[in-house]
Amino acid sequence: MPIALPDFLTGGPAEGDIGRNVTAVITNNLQRSGLFAPINPAAFIEKISNSDSVPRFPDWRTINAQALVTGRITRQGDGRLKAEFRLWDVFA
């Protein structure tokens, strides 16, 4: 299944590459499962800037994504990371 995984958003620039690294791990795991075909991020039309907003589904259909994962990573007061994500069915 073609799936789009834009980099997870972070709480700010101080969190550096955390969002990109988490997205890379998820992308690799999904690809290795043999059930998903992650789409190259260079093909993405929409740039996700708010993980709570509804995506522009026509943009994701244009690149043949059947599923879309959006999310964010935030650092908690005790230093732990909190990940939140949404899995969208692009065609439904």
pLDDT, tens digit (0-9, with 9 covering 90-100), for 56-71: 999 999 999 999 999 9
Residues whose CB is less than 8 angstroms from the CB of residue 34 and which lie 6 or more positions away in sequence, other chains included: none
- Identify the CA nearest to 74 among candidates 86, 82, 63: 82
CA atoms within 13 A of residue 52's CA, in its CB half-sphere: 0
Q: How far apart are CA 25 and CA 50, in angstroms?
A: 21
Q: Is the pLDDT of residue 49 over 90?
A: yes
Q: Confidence class of residue 39 from pLDDT cuts 50, 70 and 90?
A: very high
